[in-house]
C-alpha cells in the first residue's frame, strides 16, 4: 500500500503557494505532519483526501491517480477534518449511522462497528445524547469514530488531539499505534508531544514546503550536541534570550534554568542534553516562536 | 437512496426552527385548502361542461369560427388602419358620427376607408370639432377617427337573458381597452387609441382580438376571501423559500459538507436526495393545495373548480376566459403543468442559491428576497395577481426591459400563442442551468 504525491502544489494567489512542489511516498505506519499554523498542512491534507483540486501535480494511491479513481479511493479513506463540523441536532449514534449510510456500509457491519467504536472511544454512555450536549473533547472523539467507521486503509487526521485532555490524548496515541500496523496514518499537529513516541516518521512543513521526511530517531540525531541546559542568575535573562534560541526556561531556587539551542555554545556553565522533538520544532520555527513570545510579553 | 432521503428529512426536522417553519407551512396549506373549499367565489369560477356547451353554441351562432378568422388574418397585411376593417361584429356609430361630423359624415367615412380623405375635404365640408379651450375649429386630418359600436352587444344581451345570475361582458376590455376605459365601463373602442403595443404584436393582438371578441366570461367580483387566499399563498412561498434556503447552506455554515464530499454514496446520490426533499417541500406540498381543494369540490359539487390552479399564475380576468377556449380536461393539464413549472423553478432557484451561499443567513436573506419582491410589487404597483411571484416576475421584467413583450403576453389566456411556450421553454432552460450549476459545484469536490 502506497500513497504518493508527485510535484503537488496549490496556489491560492499567484504570488505565493500554499503547498509547493511536494513529493512524498507514504506507506503503512504513522506519518506526522509537523508545522506551524499556516504552513500548509491542512491544504496538503485536503488534497490528499481529494476534496481540494491541486493547482499542479497529482496524488496516487497504489499507483492510481486518486482523482481519476475517486470512488474507489474514497472506500479506503478515513478523514477527520480540522475543526470538524457536526449535525448538532443528531445524537451520537444517529450521526454515526448517517456517516455509515454515506459510506455505503452494510447495516449489520455498521451496527457492529459503531458499537465497537463507541466502546473503544469511551462514548457508550453518551451515545444517545445530542451532539450539541457534548464537550469539545467528546466531539473530537465522535469525529475520530466517524473517520474509522469504514476501517480505512488510509487515515488522515487533521489536528486530532485538539480539545482532548491528557488522558484522551494517551488513549488516542494507543489507538493510532494499533491501527498503524496495516494503515497509512497521516497525522497533522503542532503539538509535538503527541507524535514523539508513536510516529514512524516526521514530515516537517514550513511555508508550503516539506523540509524533510525522516524517522524520529534520525530527526533527533541531527540535533544532537546542539541542545543545552544553562543555569543562570535572574539578571542574565535578557542576554541569554538575545544570544540563543530559548526552548524553555524554568525558575529554580538557584536562579533560572534555560533549555537552549545553539550551534556555537560558548558559555562553559552549559550542559549538553538529549534533544527532543520540541527542540527540533523550535530549531525550524524559531521566528514564529519569537513572535508568539513577544506578543505574550 | 431512501435512507439518504430519510436523513435529509431528519436534518430538517431535527432543527426546532425548521420544524416550526414546516408545521406553519402545513398549517398554512391546510388553511388555504379550507378557504378554497368554503369560499363562495366558487359559484363564479365554476364552469360546468353543460354551461360551456351553451356558450360555445352561442359563439358559433354569433360569428365565424376562430380557425376561419385566422385563415383570413393570414392573408392580410396588417397596419393600424386595416385593423379596423376586420372585426365583423362592429358597426359604425351613426349617431355619434352624425353629431360629430355633420351631414357629410358618410362621404367622410367612405373617403377615410378608401384612404382618399384629405384636409381640403374637411375644410370644404366645414367639419368642426371642439378643442381643449372649447373653441370651434376645423378637424385636422390626423385627428379624424371613426367611431364604432359593437354588434356583439346584442349577443351579450342574449347571454344575460340566458344566465341572469352571471355578469357578462365582452373580452375586448381585457385585450384592447386601456385599463382606465375598461374601468369606466365603456363598451366602445377607438382602435386608434389602443396604441399601447408595439407594432410587432399587432398581428398577434388582432388575432386574439377576433377570437376574444366572440367569447364571454363571467366578471370576477371582488371577494373578501380572495385577498386571504393571496396572503396565505405568499406565506406558503415564503416558508418554502426559507426551508429550501437551508438545505445546502446549513451544511456549509456548520462545516458538515466535508462528510458529503468524502462519502462513498457520492455527490450525485446526496444531491438527488436533497433535490427530492426540496421538490417535496417546494412543489408537492403547494401542489396538494389545489389538488385537494379540487377533489373536495368535485366530491361536493360534481365538478372541478379549475380556478384553484390559476391564482398563482396569471391575471384573474384573463384566466376566466380560458374555460371557453379549452375543455376542462385540457385546462386541468395546462394548469397543473404551469404550476409545476413555476414551483419547480422557484425550488431549483432556492436550491442553487443555497448551494452557492455558504452562510445560512445570507442564503436565507437572498431566498427571502426572491419571494418578497413580488409582495413589494403587489403593494406598490397595486397588482392583484400572483403572476409576479419571483422567477416568472423577474423574467417578465427582463423581457419587458428588452422590449420583447408586454404584460398581456404573459397572461394565462394567451397560452395558445406560441410565444408563451418560449416563456415556458426559457424556464425549463433556467431549471436546467440551476441543476447544472449545482452539479458543477458538487463535481469539484470543493469545500
Which residue does chain B place closest to A94, by CA atoms?
A: B7
Distance CA(B359)–CA(B88), nearest Å, equals 62
In the block, which residue shows the cell 406565506? Answer: B235
Q: What separation, in Å, do the N-terminal and C-terminal C-alpha atoms of chain A show?
A: 48
Residue closest to B175 by CA, chosen among B155, B148, B194 = B194
Position A232 in a domain: yes
pTM over 0.90: no
Tell me the count of A-B CB pairs closer than 8 A. Answer: 72
Position B128 in a domain: yes
Position A295 in a domain: no
What is the model's pLDDT at position B186? 37
Residue B184 C-alpha cell reads as 369606466
Q: Are residues A136 and A233 in the same domain?
A: no
Which residue does chain B place closest to A103, by CA atoms?
A: B264
Q: Are residues A216 and A230 in the same domain?
A: no
Neighbours of A160 (CB within 10 A): 27
What is the model's pLDDT at position B327? 52
In the block, which residue shows the cell 424556464? Answer: B427
Q: Are residues B240 and B100 in the same domain?
A: no
Kindly report the CA angle at B377 between B347 and B177, in degrees rounded to 5? 115
Its domain, for residue A6, covers 2-220
Count the domains in chain A. Answer: 2
Query: Is there a contact between A71 and B445 if contact means CB atoms under 8 Å apart?
Result: no
Position B81 in a domain: no
Q: Are residues A240 and A110 in the same domain?
A: no
Reduce the DSSP state of residue A153 to 3 states and report it: coil
Residue closest to B214 by CA, chosen among B325, B103, B131, B107 = B325
Distance CA(A61)–CA(A81), nearest Å, equals 20
How many Å lie between the alpha carbon of A75 and the closest alpha carbon of chain B? 6
With a CB cutoff of 8 Å and minimum separation 6, the contacts of A40 are A10, A18, A19, A20, A205, A207, A208, A209
Q: Which residues of B touch A94 (CB under 8 A)?
A: 10
Q: Are residues A208 and A241 in the same domain?
A: no
Chain A touched by B445 (CB under 8 Å)? yes
Position B296 in a domain: yes
Average pLDDT over every residue of A238-250? 78
Position A244 in a domain: yes
Its domain, for residue B351, covers 1-38+216-445
pLDDT at B155 over 60: no
Reduce the DSSP state of residue B314 to 3 states and report it: coil
| DSSP bridge partners of A22 | A8
Alpha-carbon Rg for chain A, nearest whole angstrom, is 22
The pLDDT-based confidence of A52 (bands split at 50, 70, 90) is confident
Q: Are residues A48 and A17 in the same domain?
A: yes
Q: Which residues of B touch A150 (CB under 8 A)?
A: 264
Q: Are residues B238 and B341 in the same domain?
A: yes
Position B69 in a domain: no
- Cα four-point dihedral sign B136, B138, B142, B147: positive
- Ranking A144-148, A252-256, B43-47 by mean pLDDT, the lowest is B43-47
How many Å lie between the alpha carbon of A162 and the closest alpha carbon of chain B? 17
**Percent of all residues in chain A with a pLDDT value above 90, rounded to a whole number:** 0
pLDDT at B277 over 50: yes
Q: Are residues A18 and A93 in the same domain?
A: yes
Digit-coded pLDDT (tens) for A184-234: 888 887 777 777 778 888 888 888 888 888 887 887 787 778 888 888 887
Buried b (16+ CB within 10 A) or exposed e, A88-103: bbbbbbbbbbbbbbbb
Domain boundary among B122, B139, B162: B162
Which residue does chain A place closest to B261, by CA atoms?
A: A51
Query: Is there a contact between A104 and B264 if contact means CB atoms under 8 Å apart?
Result: yes
pLDDT at B86 over 50: no
Digit-coded pLDDT (tens) for A118-142: 888 888 888 888 888 888 788 888 8
Q: Which residues of A touch B260 (CB under 8 A)?
A: 102
Neighbours of A43 (CB within 10 A): 22
> Tell me, what CATH number does A105's domain have?
3.40.50.300
Average pLDDT over every residue of B57-66? 46
Q: What separation, in Å, do the N-terminal and C-terminal C-alpha atoms of chain B show?
A: 23
Distance CA(B127)–CA(B117), nearest Å, equals 12
Chain A touched by B255 (CB under 8 Å)? yes
What is the model's pLDDT at position B203? 35
Average pLDDT over every residue of B229-258? 76
Note the Cα B239 to chain centre separation in Å.
23
pLDDT greater at residue A68 or residue B226: A68
Q: Are residues A81 and A36 in the same domain?
A: yes
The pLDDT-based confidence of A294 (bands split at 50, 70, 90) is very low
Q: Are residues A152 and A252 in the same domain?
A: no
Phi, psi of B313 (to 5 degrees): -120, -50
Instruction: Please name the member of B14, B255, B446 whose beta carbon is closest to the beta carbon of A89.
Output: B14
Chain B touched by A144 (CB under 8 Å)? no
Chain A touched by B9 (CB under 8 Å)? no
pLDDT at A283 over 80: no
Chain A touched by B254 (CB under 8 Å)? yes
Residue closest to B170 by CA, chosen among B68, B87, B74 = B87
In the block, which residue shows the cell 390559476? Answer: B310
Cα atoms found within 13 Å of the Cα of residue A296, Cβ hemisphere only: 6
Q: Are residues A231 and A184 in the same domain?
A: no
Kindly report the CA angle at A211 between A206 and A213, in degrees rounded to 5? 125
Query: Is there a contact between A74 and B11 if contact means CB atoms under 8 Å apart?
Result: no
Reported as type and span, the H/E element at residue B316 is helix B316-319
Q: Which residues of A touch B267 (CB under 8 A)?
A: none
Is residue A268 within 8 Å of residue A232, measured between CB atoms? no
Strand stretches in A74-126, DSSP E: 77-80
Q: Are residues A241 and A205 in the same domain?
A: no
Q: Are residues B12 and B124 in the same domain?
A: no
Query: Is there a contact between A85 and B7 if contact means CB atoms under 8 Å apart?
Result: no
What is the model's pLDDT at position B276? 92
Distance CA(B100)–CA(B128), nearest Å, equals 8
Give whole-number Cα distances, B82 to A4, A197, B150, B203, B260, in Å.
80, 97, 17, 11, 65
Domain boundary among A190, A220, A250: A220
Digit-coded pLDDT (tens) for A61-118: 888 888 888 888 888 888 888 877 888 888 998 889 998 988 888 888 888 989 888 8
Query: Is there a contact between A52 and B266 if contact means CB atoms under 8 Å apart?
Result: no
Give whole-number Cα distances, B5 to B12, B245, B256, B270, B279, in Å.
11, 17, 17, 8, 12
Q: Which of B262, B274, B360 to mutate to test the interface with A (most CBs of A within 10 A)?
A: B262
pLDDT at B288 over 80: yes
Q: Are residues A137 and A14 in the same domain?
A: yes
Q: Are residues A67 and A90 in the same domain?
A: yes
Distance CA(B245)–CA(B200), nearest Å, equals 41
- Ranking A200-209, B12-21, B236-245, B298-307 by mean pLDDT, the lowest is B298-307
Q: Which of B259, B267, B358, B443 to mutate to test the interface with A (most CBs of A within 10 A)?
A: B259
Is residue B349 within 8 Å of residue B391, measured between CB atoms? yes
- Cα four-point dihedral sign B420, B421, B424, B430: negative
How many Å lie between the alpha carbon of B243 and the closest alpha carbon of chain A? 16
| DSSP bridge partners of B365 | none
Query: Is there a contact between A46 and B447 if contact means CB atoms under 8 Å apart?
Result: yes
pLDDT at B45 over 70: no
Neighbours of B364 (CB within 10 A): 20
Position B182 in a domain: no
Amino acid at each position: 500500500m502506497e500513497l504518493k504525491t508527485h510535484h503537488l502544489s496549490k496556489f491560492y494567489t499567484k504570488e505565493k503557494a500554499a503547498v509547493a512542489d511536494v513529493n512524498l511516498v507514504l506507506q503503512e505506519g504513522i506519518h506526522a505532519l509537523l508545522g506551524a499554523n499556516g504552513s500548509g498542512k491542512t491544504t496538503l491534507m485536503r488534497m490528499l483526501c481529494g476534496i481540494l483540486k491541486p493547482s499542479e501535480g497529482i496524488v496516487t494511491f497504489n499507483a492510481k491517480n486518486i482523482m481519476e479513481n475517486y470512488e474507489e479511493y474514497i472506500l479506503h479513506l478515513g478523514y477527520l477534518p480540522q475543526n470538524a463540523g457536526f449535525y448538532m441536532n443528531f445524537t451520537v449514534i444517529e450521526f454515526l449511522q448517517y456517516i455509515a449510510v454515506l459510506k455505503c456500509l452494510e447495516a449489520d457491519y455498521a451496527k457492529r462497528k459503531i458499537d465497537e467504536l463507541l466502546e473503544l472511544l469511551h462514548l457508550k454512555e453518551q451515545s444517545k445524547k445530542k451532539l450539541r450536549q457534548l464537550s469539545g473533547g467528546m466531539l473530537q472523539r465522535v469525529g475520530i469514530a466517524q473517520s474509522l467507521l469504514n476501517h480505512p486503509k488510509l487515515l488522515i487526521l487533521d489536528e486530532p488531539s485538539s480539545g482532548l485532555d491528557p488522558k484522551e490524548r494517551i488513549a488516542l496515541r494507543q489507538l493510532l499505534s494499533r491501527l498503524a500496523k496495516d494503515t497509512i496514518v497521516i497525522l497533522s499537529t503542532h503539538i509535538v508531544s503527541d507524535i514523539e513516541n508513536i510516529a514512524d516518521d516526521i514530515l516537517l512543513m514550513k511555508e508550503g514546503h516539506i523540509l524533510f521526511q525522516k524517522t524520529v530517531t534520525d530527526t533527533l540525531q541531527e540535533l544532537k550536541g546542539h541542545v543545552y541546559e544553562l543555569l543562570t542568575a535572574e539578571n542574565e535573562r535578557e542576554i541569554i534570550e538575545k544570544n540563543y534560541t530559548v526552548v524553555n526556561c524554568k525558575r529554580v531556587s538557584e536562579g533560572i534554568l534555560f533549555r537552549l539551542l545553539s550551534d556555537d555554545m560558548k558559555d562553559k556553565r552549559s550542559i549538553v542534553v538529549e534533544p527532543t522533538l520540541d527542540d527540533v520544532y523550535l530549531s525550524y520555527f524559531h521566528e514564529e516562536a519569537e513572535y508568539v513570545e513577544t506578543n505574550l510579553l | 437512496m431512501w435512507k439518504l432521503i430519510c436523513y435529509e428529512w431528519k436534518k430538517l426536522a431535527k432543527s426546532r426552527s425548521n420544524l416550526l417553519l414546516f408545521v406553519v407551512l402545513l398549517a398554512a396549506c391546510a388553511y388555504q385548502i379550507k378557504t378554497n373549499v368554503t369560499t363562495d367565489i366558487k359559484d363564479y369560477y365554476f364552469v360546468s361542461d353543460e354551461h360551456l356547451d351553451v356558450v360555445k353554441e352561442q359563439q358559433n351562432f354569433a360569428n365565424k369560427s376562430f380557425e376561419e378568422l385566422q385563415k383570413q388574418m393570414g392573408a392580410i397585411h396588417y397596419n393600424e388602419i386595416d385593423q379596423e376593417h376586420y372585426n365583423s361584429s362592429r358597426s359604425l356609430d351613426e349617431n355619434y358620427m352624425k353629431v360629430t361630423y355633420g351631414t357629410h359624415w358618410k362621404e367622410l367615412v367612405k373617403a377615410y376607408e378608401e384612404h382618399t380623405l384629405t384636409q381640403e375635404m374637411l375644410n370644404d365640408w366645414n367639419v368642426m370639432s371642439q378643442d381643449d379651450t372649447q373653441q370651434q375649429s376645423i378637424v385636422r386630418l390626423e385627428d379624424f377617427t371613426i367611431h364604432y359600436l359593437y354588434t356583439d352587444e346584442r349577443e351579450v344581451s342574449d347571454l344575460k337573458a340566458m344566465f341572469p345570475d352571471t355578469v357578462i361582458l365582452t373580452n375586448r376590455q381585457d385585450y384592447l381597452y386601456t385599463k382606465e376605459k375598461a374601468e369606466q365601463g365603456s363598451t366602445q373602442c377607438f382602435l386608434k387609441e389602443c396604441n399601447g403595443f408595439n407594432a410587432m404584436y399587432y398581428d398577434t393582438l388582432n388575432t386574439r382580438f377576433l377570437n376574444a371578441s366572440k367569447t364571454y366570461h363571467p366578471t370576477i367580483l371582488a371577494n373578501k376571501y380572495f385577498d386571504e387566499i393571496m396572503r396565505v399563498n405568499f406565506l406558503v412561498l415564503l416558508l418554502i423559500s426559507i426551508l429550501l434556503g437551508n438545505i445546502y447552506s446549513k451544511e456549509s455554515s456548520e462545516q458538515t459538507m466535508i462528510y458529503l464530499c468524502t462519502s462513498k454514496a457520492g455527490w450525485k446520490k446526496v444531491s438527488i436526495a436533497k433535490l427530492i426533499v426540496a421538490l417535496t417541500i417546494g412543489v408537492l406540498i403547494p401542489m396538494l393545495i389545489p389538488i385537494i381543494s379540487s377533489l373536495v369540490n368535485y366530491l361536493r359539487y360534481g365538478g372541478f373548480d379549475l380556478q384553484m390552479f390559476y391564482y398563482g399564475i396569471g391575471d384573474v380576468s384573463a384566466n376566466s376566459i380560458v374555460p371557453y377556449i379549452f375543455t376542462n380536461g385540457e385546462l386541468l393539464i395546462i394548469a397543473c403543468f404551469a404550476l409545476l413549472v413555476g414551483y419547480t423553478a422557484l425550488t431549483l432557484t432556492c436550491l442553487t442559491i443555497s448551494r452557492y451561499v455558504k452562510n445560512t443567513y445570507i442564503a436565507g436573506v437572498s431566498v427571502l428576497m426572491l419571494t418578497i419582491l413580488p409582495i413589494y410589487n403587489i403593494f406598490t404597483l397595486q397588482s392583484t395577481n400572483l403572476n409576479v411571484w419571483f422567477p416568472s416576475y423577474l423574467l417578465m421584467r427582463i423581457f419587458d426591459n428588452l422590449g420583447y413583450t408586454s404584460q398581456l403576453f404573459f397572461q394565462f389566456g394567451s397560452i395558445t400563442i406560441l410565444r408563451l411556450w418560449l416563456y415556458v421553454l426559457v424556464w425549463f432552460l433556467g431549471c436546467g442551468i440551476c441543476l447544472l450549476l449545482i452539479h458543477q459545484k458538487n463535481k469539484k469536490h470543493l469545500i
